[in-house]
Amino acid sequence: MPIKTLEDLFTDGVKDIYYAERKIIAALKKMSRGAKSQDLKAAFDKHLQETEGQVERLVQVFELLGKPARGKTCPAIDGILEEGQEIMEEFKDSEALDAGLLAAAQAVEHYEIARYGTLKSWAMQLGKNDVAQLLEATLLEETNTDQALTQLAEAKVNAKGKQKAA
Ligand code: FE
Ligand code: FE
Ligand code: FE
């Protein structure tokens, strides 16, 4: 077997995040349906639209790499989303549901931030500046989403979560 290179790591990483983004689209739809707060629903819906654009960007990345757009199972995102699903089930009737959903969404964003940060650095290292720019655009959306969620948590959702159900 040929020795694997940074280029191979990079390609695998793009496939990993392509798999993850498509899972995230399905999860955001579910989480938006599950959220009680209109603000949280709106935040999920906004990021759902962005995420659809991010998948398109990854398709462009595959085109620039001259590779077919193909995902590679990401056990990390499967696990993070499974935790979110558990919260939805276990806190269904709780005032703390939204706080839990929001936290689950932030875990997703943090995974994406870690991955896109690395992939952007690798793309630059490999001299793929056009690809790096696409990854950077998505990284910025993930970072902004994470910050918006923190604000929403601290301004509203966490305090609501402390109330007892009527
Ligand atoms: Fe994303
Ligand atoms: Fe992964
Ligand atoms: Fe995201």
CATH at residue 148: 1.20.1260.10
First to last CA, the chain: 63
What spacing in Å lies between the alpha carbon of 94 and ligand 2's midpoint?
Answer: 31
What spacing in Å lies between the alpha carbon of 77 and ligand 1's midpoint?
Answer: 11
Could you give the CA distance from residue 117 to residue 122 in angstroms, rounded to a whole number? 9
Q: Whole-model pTM?
A: 0.95
Phi/psi of residue 147, nearest 5 degrees: -65, -40
Could you give the CA distance from residue 52 to residue 63 in angstroms, rounded to a whole number? 17
Residue 164 lies in a domain: no
The contacts of residue 32 (CB under 8 Å, 6+ apart) are: 41, 44, 45, 48
- Domains identified in the chain, total number: 1
Residue recorded with tokens 């948590």? 153
Residue 15 lies in a domain: yes
What spacing in Å lies between the alpha carbon of 51 and ligand 3's midpoint?
Answer: 6
Buried b (16+ CB within 10 A) or exposed e, 125-162: ebebeebbebbbebbebbeebbeebeebbeebbeeebe
Residue 52 lies in a domain: yes
Residue 57 lies in a domain: yes
Range of the domain at 17: 6-157
Residue 31 lies in a domain: yes
Report yes or no: 112 and 125 within 8 Å, Cβ to Cβ.
no
Residues of the chain with pLDDT under 70: 165-166
Residue 1 lies in a domain: no
Residue 137 confidence (pLDDT): 98
Residue 166 confidence (pLDDT): 54
Q: How far is CA 165 from each of CA 2, 29, 59, 154, 161, rounded to the nearest angstrom?
A: 60, 25, 45, 20, 9
What spacing in Å lies between the alpha carbon of 127 and ligand 3's midpoint?
Answer: 26
Residue 165 confidence (pLDDT): 61
